[in-house]
Chain A
Amino acid sequence: DGGITQSPKYLFRKEGQNVTLSCEQNLNHDAMYWYRQDPGQGLRLIYYSQIVNDFQKGDIAEGYSVSREKKESFPLTVTSAQKNPTAFYLCASRRAPLDNEQFFGPGTRLTVL
């Protein structure tokens, strides 16, 4: 089955530690996205990538970093510079350039203690 996997589902880290969230897709999609979800705020875009080895900042990129070394993978690192990292993180992909529909993974809930 084609789809998007995010691991782990739950992640706990101590304050001040960097943590990397995994996102893998086997849909052969060109574009990938990272969103952050907080209660009552909907989803906000962190980073996106339209092709391998290229990515752009979204609306709330501060304190986050990404890489896109392979088409199927788009890991997100939450750095110690992110002031309030506890949130639900969702990865999505899109079959660019003609298709506007984004497909979402199951999400990772990050809790920083």
Chain B
Amino acid sequence: AQSVTQPDIHITVSEGASLELRCNYSYGATPYLFWYVQSPGQGLQLLLKYFSGDTLVQGIKGFEAEFKRSQSSFNLRKPSVHWSDAAEYFCAVVGPTGGGNKLTFGTGTQLKVEL
């Protein structure tokens, strides 16, 4: 069964600093990968997705992620964090042949931004 690991439960960065959130997946073939962001008490918003092709994916709000097959990773990056980026971030995977295209989520990384 596919799984997603986000090893960092909490991360604190200073505003203007760079950010990298880690995500590792377990799946037999090339999965479809997603990063979502959630503000407190809100739904999830898609930041970016990877299905195939270029392994460096650009998303909204200045975020990017890089798919590395050899490391089974899909880390999220941002060169300069803004205070409004404070939120919870979820990595998710769906297998190309999964019934119903079910998403499997990681447990999330809570980002705090210090001013």
Contact = CB atoms under 8 A, between A and B. Distances in A.
Interface centre among B43, B105, B107, B108 (most CB of A within 10 A): B43
Interface stretch (A11-19, A39-47, A64-72, A73-81): A39-47
Contact of B43 (A33, A50, A106): A106
B42 A107 contact: yes
Interface string B81-109: 00000000010001000011111011110
Interface of A: 4, 6, 31, 33, 40-45, 48, 50, 56, 58, 88, 90, 92, 94, 96, 100-107, 109
B18 interface: no
Given A56-B100, A90-B43, A107-B42, A101 B34 contact: yes
Given A42-B108, A48-B102, A101 B43 contact: no
Contacts of A44: 105
Nearest to A106: B43
Interface string B43-77: 11110010100000000000000000000000000
Interface of B: 9, 32, 34, 36, 41-46, 49, 51, 90, 94, 99-103, 105-108
A30 B90 CA distance: 24
A90 B44 contact: yes
A12 to B, nearest CB: 15
B43 A96 contact: no
Contact of A107 (B32, B41, B100): B41
Contact of B107 (A31, A40, A48, A58): A40
